[in-house]
Amino acid sequence: MTQQIPTIDIYSLRTPGTPEQARTVAQILDACTDIGFLSITGTGIAQADVDKVRDICRTIFSIEESSKWDQAITRDNYRGYIPMGFFTPNDGSGTADKYEGYKLHFETAPDAAIRTDCALYGPNLWPREVPEAREILLGYWAQLDEITDLLLGALEQGLGLQPGQMQTAFGNPMTNMTLLHYPPQAPEEKGFGIHPHKDTDALTIIAPDPVGGLEVQTRDGGWITPDTPPGGFVVNIGDMLELWSGGRLVSTPHRVVNRSGKERFSFPYFAVPRHDVVITPLLPPVAGFGRPDVHCGHWSAEIWRTNWPDEDATEDTPELGTLHS
C-alpha cells in the first residue's frame, strides 16, 4: 500500500492490444485500487487550453459583485454563481468553506427531448460579461470527455468487465464542472478552502493550480500533495465508481487549504452517468463492502437539495461522499 500518488502516461491507451497499453491499464488499476488518485500525462490537451480556462475563471470572478449575485444558483437551477461561504461541511457544522464558485452542467438545448424525462437537464447560465466563456469552456470540456472515456475503458479492462459496460452510461450524462476561486487563507485562519470530503461522482479530473493547496488523505490518516508534472492532470475515483466496482476502486477523502498567499483558481470536472442509470456493483462486492444502489437522477436531485441549509437528508438520500467517523 503506497503513501504517494503515482504519475502515469496514458498515451498508450489509444492503442489497445499493445503491451504498452496493457502495462498502462495495470498501472491505472493499481493506483485506483490503492490510493484512488493518480496524476496523468500524455492526454494530448495543450497547456494553452488549460491556461485559457484559468484566465476565464479569473475574469468571471472579477465581475462586479452585484452582477454575480444576479446570476446566482437557485433552488430550481443549480447553475451559475455560488457565493463565498455558501457551502459548509457535510453535517452542517463548522466553518464555511472559503471559496466562491460558478456551476456548469452538461449543456442541453432548451428544446432537448431529455428535458421531458428529467428536469435537472437544461442550458447553462453563461456569464453575460464574458461572452467567450461558453466556447472556451465547452471546448475544454469535450477534451475531458475523451479522457474520461479512455480511463473508463482502461478500468473496464483492468476489472475484467465487458467493453463499454461503464462507458455507455455516459450518453447524455449528468457530468458537471465547478469553476472555483479560493482567496488566500492566513496561516492562523481556521477552516478550509474545501473541507475534507469524498467525491460523489464517478471520476474527477482537475488541472492543478500552480499555487497548490490540494491535499489527499493516505490510508494511515496523513495528508499528501499530488506531485503532478507541468501539463499533467490529477484524477480521482468517486463514490459511484467505488460502488460500481464492488469496493475495489477507492474513493479517497481530500481537501483544499490555500495558504500560498496567492489567489487560487481551479475548475474540476465531475463525470456522472445519465439520469436513468442505476449504479449497482458490476462485480461481487469485496468482503465488508456494502452500500445501497444509487439512481443517478435521484442522487443529483438530492445532493443539490441538501446543500441548502434548511434541508435535511432523509432515508432516501444516498450516502455518497459521506465521511464516517
What secondary structure letter does DSSP report for 100?
Answer: E
**Separation CA 47–CA 309 (nearest Å):** 39
pLDDT at 90: 45
What is the chain's pLDDT, residue by residue, as a tens digit (325 residues)?
557 899 999 999 999 999 999 999 999 999 999 999 999 999 999 999 999 999 999 999 999 999 999 999 988 888 999 988 776 554 445 567 788 999 999 999 999 999 999 999 999 999 999 999 999 999 999 999 999 999 999 999 999 999 999 999 999 999 999 999 988 877 777 778 778 889 999 999 999 888 888 989 998 889 999 989 989 999 999 999 999 999 999 999 988 888 788 889 999 999 999 999 999 999 999 999 988 999 999 989 888 887 777 777 777 777 766 776 5
**pLDDT confidence of residue 88:** 58
How many angstroms separate the CA atoms of 27 and 10, rounded? 10
Q: What one-character-per-residue DSSP string does 44-94 give?
A: ---HHHHHHHHHHHHHHHTS-HHHHHHTB-BTTB--EEE-TT----TTS-S
Task: Report the pLDDT value the prediction gives residue 91, as an integer from 0 to 100.
Answer: 47
pTM, two decimals, is: 0.94
Q: Three-state DSSP class for 153?
A: helix
Domains of the chain: 7-305 (2.60.120.330)
**Predicted pLDDT at 296:** 95
The half-sphere exposure of 270 on its side-chain side, counting CA atoms within 13 A, is: 18
- Is residue 214 within 8 A of residue 314, CB to CB? The reply is no
Sign, Cα dihedral of 46, 48, 49, 54:
positive
